[in-house]
Chains A and B, each alone.
Chain A
């Protein structure tokens, strides 16, 4: 099914970034989330972003 909401090249380019695997995965996961949940309220988005960011920070110990 054609999908004009996300260009596969974005995913390819994120995967090619010179960043940690975890950071790239975080970006991709949140893109996936945006793709599947296109009509949530702002609070729901913030909640989900915060949850995933907190998990990332917790697992990495340092954001940077």
Chain B
């Protein structure tokens, strides 16, 4: 298991799916380790992987388009006449540093017994074939002995044992895998993936079997010791065994609950981080704030409108005064001037003239007696005044004008209007302020994705509830375990009391104690080893992952805890595993696989279908550059599509720079041994076969 360099050397495929008779070679060059198979979709890339898997384990690993279709090549089956047999076979040669080490061949023989074209499902053929066929499977495994001779077997059990010894099926997913599925590698049940990966490469099957057998012996000896001590001890032992089984069962249940709780804790943590980014409470507070601000805005708006209306009403009410104020002054002046000029009769009343005539004396003291001319003039004036209203009108007009002019109208109106305007301005400013606040709050609210927030909040509530349920279940189970343990302690005491010390019981007890000690010691050794391997895998995964990803500075460390939970911790102590981009998850999976291989010091080959299918741009180039450098002597076979392999992507639209293609990158690094093209050879309208042609560089 340690320090082994295994390589695929040759694959000979006959009548397997689209291949009729094809020999494929893989790089044996320790420097140019990469072999490329390039083909369009449906050309047969996945069939190469399936051929290897079928040869080793008797089943295909990656079924998609091929599901339901038989493994034997359809044209070969169609050509088979009654009485003839068609052989479908895959022969895989694996080499080590000394040359070919294993030759493994699986054959499927399909014999046509009649011409029936009815279809039947055939397990060996892996799909539907004509019911006229019968099929058989045979295998051959040859391994090179140290002296160079070959040890060959066609026995199925030995074949399986030999294959499982150097490449167990459980390990094969780290050797032959589909790159397009790696981005989902850690998406779910990642703890199980890590646990199985580490346990599988840790070389534990023999140890686990021994632990199981030591436990079996402990149980057997316990029974025998009790039996040798009498009937009551035997009965107590039986009870003890039942309780112990119950305890184991409860412990298993607890382990499941704990795993669930871990998952829930993780999920809750993620959601809490999410909700912290867009907290529902802050969002709701903002919504409340917006409502209150809108209310204030409306109130201010109403006041402003009222004040505006009051001002307008006031202006309308006083419009005449405001408009005519200057005209009044002007009219007064004209009237006064016309009086002085004599154009307007003086404001003399007839009764006043009458009074002067009666007294015969003017108001200035001049005696009128003897001054007939003056008396006549006054009489004439009196008559004119008596007959004319103009003096009265002029007088009244003048008085009105004086009153109007002398009133402090202008000042009052101005002051009142100023007051109204000030109030209006004050409330308008408050309105504008409220409006700004409303707009600001709306902007803030737009940063929130309400639907998402509600979803997160609902999920968080559900998770919290589930978590609380699981914690309750755990508590119940824990108390049940305590009760069972207490019963077991009592039973053990009782059993001790009931045990008669006979020489037979003493001997069984000695053996039982030894089995118990051996079981516990081996378990401890196993756990210690696993813990050390887990730590090394963690360190290596972190080292490789940090070198592969572009934003390595964001990652602080990779953690694989005692429950095999993998975490990608950033500088802020947050686990980013679930928010990694597809490309980054793919890198993490590749880093983990590379770490497992390095830790076990076994340099197995690697065949990856569509290795770069899920990564784009610079990351793709980086993967092509860096990945092979972390697997320096590993034989790597890439099965790629033309686009995936040769496409040159524009770096940006403004400059005409291009990111180099995977082909250019690998060629630059001189890692390619040979490139092959999978060519679909169309034979008739309905049938075709795939040929493998070397591309001459």
Contacts and interface: CB of A to CB of B under 8 A. Distances in A.
A64 B521 CA distance: 13
Given A2-B166, A34-B210, A46-B216, A27 B522 contact: yes
A34 B1 contact: no
Interface size class of A (residues with CB under 8 A): 35 or more
A6 B207 contact: yes
B412 interface: no
Contact of A46 (B1, B217, B507): B217
Given A4-B171, A27-B521, A57-B507, A42 B216 contact: yes
Contact of B203 (A3, A42, A45, A49): A3
A4 B168 contact: yes
B203 A5 contact: yes
Nearest to A6: B206
Contact of B529 (A13, A45, A50, A54): A13
Contacts of B2: 2, 8
A63 B517 CA distance: 9
A10 to B, nearest CB: 5
Interface stretch (B54-62, B261-269, B313-321, B508-516): B508-516
B221 to A, nearest CB: 8
Chain A CB count within 10 A is highest, among B1, B166, B167, B522, for: B1
A35 B217 contact: no
B205 A54 contact: no
A48 to B, nearest CB: 9
B551 interface: no
Contact of A34 (B6, B166, B206): B206
Contact of B514 (A6, A34, A39, A57): A57
Contacts of B143: 1
A10 B529 contact: yes
Given A4-B205, A35-B206, A39-B161, A9 B529 contact: yes
B338 interface: no
A56 B510 CA distance: 10
Nearest to B3: A2
Contact of B6 (A2, A6, A53, A63): A2
A38 to B, nearest CB: 7
B200 A4 contact: yes
Interface in A30-64: 30-31, 34-35, 38-39, 42, 45-46, 49-50, 53-54, 56-57, 62-64
B161 A38 contact: yes
A59 to B, nearest CB: 12
Interface in B130-180: 143, 157, 161, 164-168, 171
A6 B1 CA distance: 8
Contacts of B210: 27, 30-31, 34
B207 A10 contact: yes
Nearest to B529: A9
A47 B458 CA distance: 60
Interface of B: 1-2, 4, 6, 143, 157, 161, 164-168, 171, 200-207, 209-210, 213-214, 216-217, 220, 507, 510-511, 513-515, 517-518, 521-522, 525-526, 528-529, 532, 602
23 contacts: A1-B4, A2-B166, A2-B602, A4-B164, A4-B165, A4-B168, A4-B205, A5-B165, A8-B2, A9-B529, A10-B207, A17-B525, A27-B518, A27-B522, A30-B210, A31-B207, A31-B210, A34-B209, A39-B161, A46-B216, A53-B514, A57-B514, A63-B511
Given A7-B529, A14-B525, A46-B216, 10 more contacts: A2-B602, A3-B1, A5-B206, A6-B205, A8-B203, A27-B210, A27-B518, A53-B514, A63-B510, A63-B514
Interface of A: 1-10, 13-14, 17, 19, 23, 26-27, 30-31, 34-35, 38-39, 42, 45-46, 49-50, 53-54, 56-57, 62-64
